[in-house]
């Protein structure tokens, strides 16, 4: 495992290293990929010309990259001089990080390719510095078009602005206008024009079908004509957006299109003009009129991509709508759907005039002649279907019969274990980032985690434990009962339900002696409600084999007894795994699950598994705790040692990743706490959990009692 490179021993501080010194240090890391014909001499010679700080930067990253793959490090060393000439140090680091991310996600060759594109990267970085990156504004744009209405549209990076009616593809960086504000306006113009295409019927199914056969030129003409029509519609519906388009055209000195375009614009500006008119005109003009140059916020249309999306969506939405309607009919009538009555199409749509809608009307759903308020999903589906077809065909309103219920539903749930049979893929798993302290950066989607169930074992373990610790159970129950939220009388309050007689007597005495009479004369009842959710994360690594595992299981049994007395919400998960591609969380008790026989059997079924990759387990459980509503959220880890996994997840790396995962948890308002039996834990736990958030239990034998005891202290 590569550590941080040692400080250079052979050159005084600040002086650039000689080519020979650099070569020697490169050799240390690149040994594996060097040969007599391929040496580090070339890169070393070039690097000798740079300052010491730049040399150290390169050497540091060579060490980091070599830990991942020596070839990657060699490529970096060869390209680094070029990169240093093109970019400043921060730029070079960004370039390496991007290559590392590619390596993590896609492997060596794409990563090397990413490194080689150093010129393009530098170019993009420059544009980014001057302009605006899509990722900075994608969130705002997505919400913006969402608010405008209609089907939700995603925003993604692509070359030219275009849409497939589900995703808006916008350029990754815009630097056309000098400042960020201007570039944001341009992004917004692109987004609103593409949204208008989806909302005002440019991509209606019948039109798309006709357009597909008409050729690229007709498509370009159609896009230009539609742009004119939509500008007029925007002027009516969103005058502010239209003004911004005009301002952009002025700022970018966009020349108006020559005749016959203004004439066409006048015709298409009529309120009754539709996309069908644009299409007629486009087909008539094809071969006679040249398409005009697209304006900066426009891109070439892609009818083929739209057609593919449309086809899949129409079928999917027809099925989903019919299924939803069947459920709705059942719910409204309070009965199982009767196939005969369902055949008679009980749903109908009533058109209602609405000048704000793109078609000038909206629909009201009726069931058996009575108007009903459809649920959110159904309303969204109806809107989406109208966007595609301009209406809801009759057949869409026939609720699905019982036999059709499963059609189009998700494929049957797979056993997560099957993933390891046959081809590797990551379906059904959760992907989590992992912190690499050497890079000072996350490895994206690095760990593959699955939730599995502990196989329940009914071997009388729980009963034996309860019998053996009979006295302890009773005393724990008493202590925890005392903790339970009970009405507490607060005396001497300025207001409250009853008069505090003691206080009143004193007050009279005070008044009689001429002192001021206090107003704190009341008793107030106050229930200190416990509002705690706690998640126990149990180490199920191989090192717990034997009596540690027994102690853990006993501790859990006693803990559950105590928590049941207390009434706090709690969940228990075990964690283990081997390598980043097989991290496992074992469900022992979920939050919403009662402490049942099944749970008891799962506790006794806890068996040591493989390794301890803690970071990913903490991240996953943090996500789970985030969903729970409670004033206090606790994540308690029961462990027997340092984080440790097969593929280099040990030492500083494992500790730093775990620490970062705990920092993330704290950011979510979760209190992490650790109970461990590792006697060396005092060396690293304060670094992970903070000085007061861990307990080292010296004797495994005491663990069962200690866990409940620690929990009591922690929450009272």
Partner 1 sequence: MTGQTLRPEEHFVETEPYYEPVGDEIEVFEAAWRNQLPVLLKGPTGCGKTRFMEHMAWRLKRPLITVSCHDDLTASDLVGRFLVAGGETVWVDGPLARAVRCGGICYLDEIVEARKDTTVVIHPLADDRRVLPMEKRGELLKAPPEFCLAISYNPGYQSVLKDLKQSTRQRFVALEFDYPEPELERRIVEKETGIEPELAERLVKFAHMTRNLKGSGLDEGASTRLLVQAAKLIVSGIPPVAACRAAVAQALTDDPEMLAAIHELSASLF
Least Cβ distance, residue 376 to partner 1 (angstroms): 8
Q: Which of 105, 152, 371, 567 binds partner 1 (CB under 8 A)?
A: 152
Query: Does 144 interact with partner 1 (rule: CB under 8 A)?
Result: yes
Report the C-alpha gap between 206 and 191 in whole angstroms: 24
Minimum CB distance to partner 1 smaller for 394 or for 497: 497
Question: Rounded to the nearest whole angstrom, what is the least distance from the CB of residue 143 to partner 1 in the complex?
Answer: 3
Q: Binding to partner 1 (CB under 8 A): which residues in 49-108?
A: none
Q: Does 139 bind partner 1 (CB under 8 A)?
A: yes
The Cα diameter of the chain in Å comes to 110
User: 133-140 contacts: CB < 8 A, separation 24 or more?
Assistant: 133/172, 133/173, 134/170, 134/171, 134/172, 134/173, 134/174, 134/187, 135/172, 137/184, 137/187, 138/170
Yes or no: say if 285 and 267 are a contact pair by the CB < 8 Å rule: no
Distance in Å, CB of 139 to partner 1, minimum: 4
Pick the closer one to partner 1 by CB: 152 or 206.
152
Q: Which of 7, 12, 147, 411 binds partner 1 (CB under 8 A)?
A: 147
Applying CB under 8 A, does 244 fall inside the site for partner 1? yes
Strands 154-157 and 162-163: unpaired
Q: Of the listed pieces 67-75, 496-504, 559-567, 575-583, which binds partner 1 according to CB under 8 A?
A: 496-504
Q: Of residues 341-370, which lie at the interface with partner 1 (CB under 8 A)? A: 354, 356
* Least Cβ distance, residue 253 to partner 1 (angstroms): 23
Task: Give 507 or 681: the residue with its C-beta nearer to partner 1.
Answer: 507
Token pair 């900066």 is at which residue?
296
* Residue in 156, 498, 502, 668 binding partner 1, rule: CB under 8 A: 498
Token digits of residue 341 = 């009555």
Radius of gyration (C-alpha) of the chain in whole angstroms:
34
- We find the least distance from the C-beta atom of residue 147 to partner 1, in angstroms, to be 4
Q: Which residues contact 259 (CB under 8 A, 6 or more apart)?
A: none
Residue ranges in 282-311 that form contacts with partner 1 under rule CB under 8 A = none
143 is a site residue for partner 1 (CB under 8 A): yes
- Report, in Å, the least distance between residue 612 CB and partner 1: 34
Measure Cα distances from 501 to 298, 492, 505, 511 in Å: 81, 10, 6, 15
* CB of 714 vs partner 1, minimal distance in Å: 22
Q: Is 377 in the site for partner 1 (CB under 8 A)?
A: no
Q: How many binding residues for partner 1 (CB under 8 A)?
A: 33
Smallest gap from Cβ 334 to partner 1, in A, equals: 17
| Tokens of residue 461, six digits | 């373990």
Residue nearer to partner 1 on the CB measure, 34 or 624: 624
- Across-strand partners of 430? 449
Q: Which is nearer to partner 1, 17 or 191 (CB)?
A: 191
Decide if residue 525 touches partner 1 (CB under 8 A).
yes
Using alpha carbons, list the distances in angstroms from residue 308 to 16, 160, 209, 603, 650. Answer: 59, 19, 11, 50, 48
H or E segment to which residue 445 belongs? strand 441-453
644 CB neighbour count, 10 Å cutoff: 17
Contact pick of 376, 395, 427, 516 for partner 1 (by CB under 8 A): 376
The phi and psi torsions of 566 (rounded to 5 degrees) equal -80, -35
Site string for partner 1, 406-435 (x = CB under 8 A): ------------------------------
Q: Which of 106, 140, 345, 407 binds partner 1 (CB under 8 A)?
A: 140
3-state percent helix, strand, coil for the chain, nearest multiple of 5: 50, 15, 35
Residues 192-211 that bind partner 1 (CB under 8 A): 192
CB of 153 to partner 1, least distance (A): 11
**567 is a site residue for partner 1 (CB under 8 A):** no
Q: Which of 440, 458, 483 is nearest to 711 (CA)?
A: 483
Closest to partner 1 by CB, 228 vs 521, is 521
Q: DSSP 3-state assignment of 285?
A: helix
- Interaction of residue 488 with partner 1, rule CB under 8 A: no
Question: Given candidates 13, 181, 629, 699, which one binds partner 1 under the rule CB under 8 A?
Answer: 629
Kindly tell me which of 336 and 512 has the beta carbon lying closer to partner 1: 512
Find where tokens 């129409």 sit: 314
Instruction: Classify the C-alpha dihedral 514-518-519-521 as positive or negative.
Output: negative
Q: Which of 148, 235, 252, 457 binds partner 1 (CB under 8 A)?
A: 148
In angstroms, rounded to a whole number, what is the distance separating the alpha carbons of residues 398 and 377? 17
> Rounded to whole angstroms, what are the CA distances from 34 to 71, 77, 82, 349?
9, 12, 21, 74
Choice from 269, 305, 372, 504 touching partner 1 (CB under 8 A): 504
**CA–CA gap between residue 590 and residue 501 (Å, rounded):** 48
Single out the residue of 2, 238, 367, 457 in contact with partner 1 (rule: CB under 8 A): 238
Shortest distance, position 555 Cβ to partner 1, whole Å? 29
Residue 371 binding partner 1, by CB under 8 A? no
Query: Under the criterion CB under 8 A, does residue 262 sit at the interface with partner 1?
Result: no
- Smallest distance from partner 1 to CB 353, Å: 10
> Hey, CA dihedral for 235, 237, 241, 245, is it positive or negative?
negative
Q: What are phi and psi of 710, to 5 degrees?
A: -60, -40
Which residues, including other chains, have CB under 8 Å from residue 376's CB and lie 6 or more apart?
none
Quick one: which H or E segment has residue 500?
A: none
Q: Report, in Å, the least distance between residue 492 CB and partner 1.
A: 13
Q: Which is nearer to partner 1, 13 or 529 (CB)?
A: 529
146 binds partner 1 (CB under 8 A): yes
**Closer CB to partner 1, residue 425 or residue 527?**
527
Of 259 and 495, nearer to partner 1 (C-beta) is: 495
Provide the minimum distance between the beta carbon of 572 and partner 1 in the complex, in angstroms, as a whole number: 21
Q: Cα separation of 453 and 589, whole Å? A: 9
Burial class (CB in 10 A: 0-12, 13-18, 19+), 577: buried
Give the interface segment with partner 1, choosing from 206-214, 240-248, 399-407, 653-661 (CB under 8 A).
240-248
Query: Which residues in this chain contact partner 1 in the complex, by CB under 8 A?
Result: 139-144, 146-149, 152, 188, 192, 238-241, 244, 354, 356, 376, 495-499, 504, 508, 511, 521, 525, 527, 629
């Amino acid at each position: 495992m590569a550590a941080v490179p040692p400080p250079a021993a052979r050159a005084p501080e600040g002086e650039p290293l000689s080519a020979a010194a650099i070569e020697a240090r490169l050799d240390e890391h690149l040994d594996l990929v060097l040969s007599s014909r391929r040496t580090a001499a070339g890169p070393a010679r070039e690097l000798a010309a740079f300052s010491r700080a730049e040399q150290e930067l390169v050497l540091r990253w060579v060490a980091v990259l070599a830990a991942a793959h020596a070839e990657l490090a060699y490529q970096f060393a060869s390209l680094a001089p070029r990169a240093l000439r093109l970019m400043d140090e921060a730029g070079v680091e960004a370039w390496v990080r991007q290559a590392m991310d590619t390596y993590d996600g896609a492997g060596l060759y794409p990563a090397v390719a990413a490194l080689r594109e150093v010129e393009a990267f530098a170019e993009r970085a420059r544009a980014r510095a001057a302009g605006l990156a899509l990722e900075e504004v994608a969130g705002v744009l997505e919400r913006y078009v969402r608010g405008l209405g209609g089907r939700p549209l995603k925003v993604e990076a692509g070359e030219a602005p275009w849409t497939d009616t589900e995703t808006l593809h916008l350029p990754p960086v815009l630097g056309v206008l000098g400042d960020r504000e201007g570039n944001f306006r341009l992004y917004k113009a692109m987004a609103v024009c593409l949204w208008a295409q989806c909302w005002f019927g440019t991509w209606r199914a019948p039109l798309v079908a006709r357009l597909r056969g008409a050729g690229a030129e007709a498509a370009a003409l159609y896009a230009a004509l539609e742009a004119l029509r939509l500008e007029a519609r925007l002027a009516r519906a969103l005058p502010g957006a239209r003004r911004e388009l005009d301002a952009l055209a002025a700022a970018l000195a966009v020349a108006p299109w020559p005749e016959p375009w203004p004439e066409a614009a006048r015709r298409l500006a009529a309120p009754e003009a539709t996309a069908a008119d644009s299409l007629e005109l486009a087909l008539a003009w094809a071969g006679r009129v040249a398409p005009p140059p697209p304006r900066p916020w426009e891109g070439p249309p892609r009818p083929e991509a739209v057609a593919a999306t449309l086809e899949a969506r129409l079928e999917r939405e027809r099925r989903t709508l019919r299924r939803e309607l069947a459920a709705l009919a059942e719910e409204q009538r309070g009965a199982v759907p009767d196939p005969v009555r369902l055949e008679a199409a009980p749903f109908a749509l009533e058109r209602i005039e609405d000048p704000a809608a793109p078609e000038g009307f909206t629909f009201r759903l009726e069931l058996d002649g009575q108007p009903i308020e459809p649920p959110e999903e159904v309303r969204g589906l109806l809107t989406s279907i109208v966007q595609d077809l301009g209406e809801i065909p009759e057949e869409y309103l026939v609720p699905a019969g019982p036999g059709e219920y499963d059609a189009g539903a998700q494929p049957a749930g797979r056993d997560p274990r099957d993933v390891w049979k046959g081809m590797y893929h990551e379906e059904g798993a959760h992907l989590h980032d992992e912190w690499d302290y050497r890079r000072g950066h996350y490895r994206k989607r690095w760990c593959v985690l699955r939730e599995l169930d502990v196989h329940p074992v009914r071997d009388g373990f729980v009963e034996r434990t309860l019998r053996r610790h009979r006295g302890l159970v009773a005393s724990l129950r008493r202590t925890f009962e005392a903790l339970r939220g009970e009405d507490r009388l607060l005396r001497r309050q300025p207001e409250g339900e009853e008069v505090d007689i003691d206080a009143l007597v004193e007050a009279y005495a005070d008044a009689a002696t001429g002192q001021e009479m206090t107003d704190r004369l009341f008793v107030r009842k106050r229930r200190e409600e416990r509002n705690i959710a706690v998640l126990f994360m149990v180490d199920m690594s191989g090192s717990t084999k034997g009596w540690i595992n027994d102690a853990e299981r006993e501790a859990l049994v006693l803990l559950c007894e105590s928590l049941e007395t207390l009434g706090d919400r709690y969940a228990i998960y075990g964690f283990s795994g081997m390598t980043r591609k097989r991290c496992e969380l074992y469900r022992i008790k979920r939050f919403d699950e009662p402490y049942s026989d099944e749970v008891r059997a799962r506790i006794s079924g806890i068996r040591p598994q493989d390794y301890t990759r803690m970071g990913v387990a903490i991240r996953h459980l943090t996500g789970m705790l985030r969903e729970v509503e409670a004033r206090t959220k606790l994540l308690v880890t029961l462990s027997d040692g340092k984080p440790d996994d097969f593929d280099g997840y040990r030492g500083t790396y494992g500790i730093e990743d775990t620490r970062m995962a705990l920092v993330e948890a704290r950011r979510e308002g979760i209190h992490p706490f650790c109970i461990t039996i590792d006697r060396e834990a005092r060396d690293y736990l304060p670094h992970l959990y903070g000085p007061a958030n861990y307990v080292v239990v010296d004797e495994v034998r005491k663990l069962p009692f200690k866990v409940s005891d620690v929990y009591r202290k922690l929450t009272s």
